[in-house]
Structure 1
């Protein structure tokens, strides 16, 4: 039996967007949707960690609204709900162990609500035991595209590619794979290696490496239309810019374990915060 898609809600507009996305994804995967609301730490709940009837009623009301929203979007979808007496980070981290996918809204802060991801979503992107999708609301005027995946060539990248190709195949979407590189090659802060090769030679080598990285996965998903480009650019800047024309961005979680967010790595962390569409963070290794 496959695990469900789990979506965490907090009663905000951001979680409303997340429920709609998660319901459609659960339908495409053919699995149930499980909606989780953890009341501790939320502004609508009682202070000092005290449970009140009003608090629980508000939580149950939010869950009921999310259940009806999911069933309206996807009639016939199996939807369950859970009110957790705990903090969202801990509750959803535990839930991720039994999830096919964890879906969260991108809660912003202050005047930067379109650019910043809430601390809970960012923390879970770095630590969840399953892939995490952070749902950034898309401008209604934009044209939906396909799946965009960042390819860095590191060990474990096959997990990222499998996730991206599966998403494209399920949704009958095209896939664009991108690899960003810099020239001259940089060995450390302020130190560039001598330009031994002409830039076009480096570009050709990067094109070859990208093609090799994609070869095996392309064979597994012959139905997916693939475009692959290697671009001289910063990786985060490239992915954020291209995200405007895509439905989903997929990145890997390669960062070191040190620190609360280091698992994400600097590129993935920047993309999660600034991307213009839903983004999937896939743990590797």
Structure 2
């Protein structure tokens, strides 16, 4: 069975844009859409007027509303839903092992305000086994296509596959960004690099990007590609492009022991500050095979 598109649902109002985006994506991929509401009952933190049954019922009601919304948007896709009795971050990371794509809304599951700066979104994007898309409603002037951050010296096939495939399915142009800076001059006691000739450095960075993109353009001849090798900070440049692009795609290059964890500094900054949906693509690796979910507790 094809892996579904899974979207985390908190409440209908905050999840609307994410559900619409996920439904569109499920249809374009030919996948089913699975809506999940994850919650962990903590009576010490809940209002006195709220009990476990009422909280669970509220989650089921939210799922029913957004499931109807997705089905009305695309009657030809299969829509299922379910409530998961565990914390949102644990549930979503576990479900990602069986998902083709995981989608989170601007608030995210669990009631965290401001998903793009919240702990749940960062944790899920850093640990999920599949690509994660954090959806913020695009600005009305988001008329450009897809922007992807490319590491010219260590390109990621999974990242570029996701970006090119997304552009092809949605009929959008792709802008490949390779941001670079001059190497540091370390100082006394270190071997110094030769004097830089800016024209040569620029040409070399453009050549690196062109070499990376050449094979992909052969595989996806119908996708218009613009190559952009820029001397700039990658996060700042991608965030700026997010104002006019419909999707920004970044890789997950961090390490567990690094200061930004598995997500990496660039991806974390883009997830925090982008003005459009952001896709975070993990590095290749085995997926756990012991996660299963059915069509619904409350479909």
TM-score when scaled to structure 2?
0.85
Kept in 1, the 8 Å contact 2:102–2:131? The answer is: yes
Give the Cα–Cα distance (whole angstroms) in 2 for the partners of residues 107 and 193 of structure 1: 48
Q: Which residue of 1 aligns with 2:127?
A: 127
Q: 251-260 or 15-24, which moves further after superposition?
A: 251-260
The CA RMSD over aligned residues, in Å, is 2.6
Give the Cα–Cα distance (whole angstroms) in 2 for the partners of residues 101 and 205 of structure 1: 35
| Structure 2 unaligned residues grouped into runs of 5+ | 285-299
CA offsets 1:101-150 (integer angstroms, 9 cap, x no match): 00001329xxxx779432111110000000000001222x3233211000
Give the Cα–Cα distance (whole angstroms) in 2 for the partners of residues 213 and 5 of structure 1: 29
Kept in 2, the 8 Å contact 1:106–1:118? The answer is: no
Residue 157 (structure 1) shift: 1.0
Q: Which residue of 2 aligns with 1:83?
A: 83
Residue 42 (structure 1) shift: 8.8
Q: Which residue of 2 aligns with 1:66?
A: 66
Q: Which residue of 2 aligns with 1:161?
A: 160
Higher RCO (C-alpha under 8 Å, 6+ residues apart): 2
Q: Which residue of 1 aligns with 2:249?
A: 250
Q: Which residue of 1 aligns with 2:295?
A: none
Kept in 1, the 8 Å contact 2:8–2:37? The answer is: yes
Give the Cα–Cα distance (whole angstroms) in 2 for the partners of residues 204 and 212 of structure 1: 12
Residue 153 (structure 1) shift: 2.5
Q: Which residue of 1 aligns with 2:17?
A: 17
Q: Which residue of 1 aligns with 2:292?
A: none
Residue 194 (structure 1) shift: 4.6
Residue 53 (structure 1) shift: 1.8
| Structure 1 unaligned residues grouped into runs of 5+ | none
Give the Cα–Cα distance (whole angstroms) in 1 for the partners of residues 260 and 162 of structure 2: 22
SS at match of 2:3: coil
Q: 1:152 to 1:188 in 2, by over 3 A?
A: farther
Give the Cα–Cα distance (whole angstroms) in 2 for the partners of residues 103 and 232 of structure 1: 32
Give the Cα–Cα distance (whole angstroms) in 1 for the partners of residues 271 and 192 of structure 2: 31
Give the Cα–Cα distance (whole angstroms) in 2 for the partners of residues 47 and 217 of structure 1: 54
Q: Which residue of 2 aligns with 1:270?
A: 269
The structure with the largest strand share of the pair is 1
Q: Find runs of 4+ consecutive structure 1 residues off by over 6 angstroms.
A: none
Q: Which residue of 2 aligns with 1:236?
A: 235
TM-score when scaled to structure 1?
0.89
Kept in 2, the 8 Å contact 1:5–1:101? The answer is: yes
In the alignment, is residue 93 of structure 1 matched against residue 84 of structure 2? Answer: no
How many residues are treated as equivalent by the alignment? 276
Residue 211 (structure 1) shift: 0.4
Kept in 2, the 8 Å contact 1:106–1:121? The answer is: no
SS at match of 2:85: strand
